Each structure stands twice: as C-alpha cells, then as structure tokens.
Structure 1
Amino acid sequence: MTKELTGEAEQLASVVGERAGDRGVTVATAESLTSGQIAVHLGAAPGAGSWFSGGAVTYTVEAKQKALGVPEGPVISEQCARAMAEGAARVLGADCAVAVTGVGGPDRQEDQPVGTVFIAIHTPAGTTCEEHHFDGEPAEILDRTTLRALELLAAGLEDAGHA
C-alpha cells in the first residue's frame, strides 16, 4: 500500500473505531482476497481493544465453509460475501462485520474476471453487499478493496448500535 493509501486506510479505521465506540458495538472481519489487510488497519486503530473482536482469514473454499458457515456454491459471489460477514459476526461475537471475497489476479477465477470483488457489511440492521470491478495489478486491487471495505464499514456503523 502506498504511503498515501496507508494514511487513508488509517483514517478510515479511526472513523470505524470512533463510531463503534460511540455506539457501543463490536466489529469483526472475514477476509479472503485481502488476507487480513483490513484487520491490520482496524487492529492498529486507537482503542481497538474495546471494539475490534478480531478477524478470520479464510482463503480456501473449505475454510470458508468450515469456519464461517459459507454454503456450497461459488465463493466469488454476493451469497458468499454475505455468509462470510454473518459468519464472522456469529463466530467472533461481534455486532458488526465486514467481509471481502474476489479475484485479485492474475487469472480469472470461477469464470469471474480479475478485479471482481464482493464486499458485505453486517450490522444489527441487516446485511448489505456491493459488487465492484477494480482495474489494476493484484496489489492495487487489494488496496482498493481494503479502502472500500473500510469506507462501507464506517458508513454502516453510522446507523448501528445502541446510542
């Protein structure tokens, strides 16, 4: 991640932390494509020990199914991302969760083109998912996915919680 993008990710993680703390909710991650990159930023945010439950990196289909309860079917899909977010919240005891799955490259996967990404956000209000098609090299796709996931999580937390 470039210095500029790292700064943006740190700022977004701080916003997530402030909102989670203000609303009295906990946050978890479920990552495939990004292999823990989102959790790294959340765990480094101020006060993370009070609101960040933890993360699950589930790269293989079997890991997604066993650890998070992802059903049979394509894992580069909205269904998988939603199941990952809901599974992470359940397994890690969190009120809210973000999940990402997709194709970083260099080759297509499950007949999906490189850059196809699904980002799900689970809050007490429900689970939503966005599909993205990011351009660039694998590292750029991962960075863009991380930033968008943090943006969506911050936005989802705006209305979440007990406050």
Structure 2
Amino acid sequence: MDAVEALAQRAQDRGARLAVAESLTCGLLASTIGKGESAQEWFAGGVVCYALDVKERVLGLEPGTDPCSPECAEQLARGVRQLIVADVAVSVTGVGGPQPSDGHPAGTVYVGWADDAGTGHRMLELDTDDPGEVLEASVDAALEVFLERLA
C-alpha cells in the first residue's frame, strides 16, 4: 500500500478532516493527496501561499518570520487548520533550489503540523539542489507526517 492509499484509509477510519498549507510544493501535496480514495470525504483542501505577504494575510504568519524556519512551518499549519477547520493540517516550506535562498541551502525544508495535540515540525536537509527531487521528497515527508499524526 502506498502512502496516499494508507492516508486515505487512516483518515476515513478516524473520520478525520485534513488540510494543507503549501509554499515550497506549490500545490503538489494537495494534488497528490487528492488522488486518495474518497478524498472528497476527508481532504478538506489547502492554501498555496508562495508569496510572503499571502502567508501573512491569509494564514496569519507573523511578519518578520523567516519563511524557511520551524516557526513558519508551524504557523502555516496552525493557520490553515483554523481557516479550513480541519482535524490535522500539514504545511511545507523551504528552499527548493537550485540556488540557496536567504542564507539557506537548497534542500532545506520544514514540514509543520497542527492538530488537537498542538503544533510541531520536522526539518529535512536534503542532499540535492534539484528542485524536482526536493519537491518529491518534501511531499513524501508531508505524507509521512500526516500518517504519524493520524496513528
């Protein structure tokens, strides 16, 4: 069973409503999750917020927060969870490459989450500066976080 199938099963078994906030992945995570069986029953939706001002206005990111940081990942997850009214929300932010950005090397990624237990994050230090590889690995990590939060 692949991660999307496992997520679909787990979300349905728990009656959970999921949401995503995407910066780095630009909609790839939502697109991947949407392939899950009966996604319309458990995937509430998400927000793609690539621009910093959108993160601040729509999801409540505190101005001045580094967009490639644990704080950003957690605030985005908390903001989209509240906006969409979800049980579990996951966010993805970081540097896709091929160049570093704002002092962060390509492949630096933060996956944040928010649920009834609180907020948290996972940092990825991917050994690649290929944007496609960074995005794929980031989506995989976000799916893992969802599965862990629904365990």
TM-score band w.r.t. shorter chain = over 0.9
Check the 8 A contact 1:123/1:157 in 2, yes or no.
Answer: no
Q: Of 120, 131, 139, which aligns to 1:138? A: 131
Q: Of 65, 87, 90, which aligns to 1:98? A: 90
1:79 paired with 2:71, answer yes
Check the 8 A contact 1:53/1:94 in 2, yes or no.
Answer: yes
Supply the distance in 2 between the matched residues of 1:55 and 1:113 (Cα, whole angstroms). 27
The answer to which structure has the higher helix fraction is: 1
The corresponding residue for 2:30 is 39
Q: How many corresponding residue pairs?
A: 149
The corresponding residue for 1:15 is 6
Shift of 1:16: 1.4
Check the 8 A contact 1:16/1:153 in 2, yes or no.
Answer: yes
1:51 paired with 2:50, answer no
The corresponding residue for 1:126 is 118
RMSD (CA atoms): 1.1
Percent of residue pairs identical: 37
The corresponding residue for 1:112 is 104
Shift of 1:124: 1.3
Q: Of 11, 25, 37, which aligns to 2:16? A: 25
4+ residue runs over 6 A deviation: none
Gaps of 5+ in 2: none
Shift of 1:121: 1.7
Secondary structure at 1:132 match in 2? strand
Secondary structure at 1:113 match in 2? coil
Shift of 1:101: 0.2
Gaps of 5+ in 1: 1-7, 159-163
Q: What is the TM-score normalised by the length of structure 1? A: 0.88
Supply the distance in 2 between the matched residues of 1:124 and 1:25 (Cα, whole angstroms). 12
Shift of 1:148: 0.9
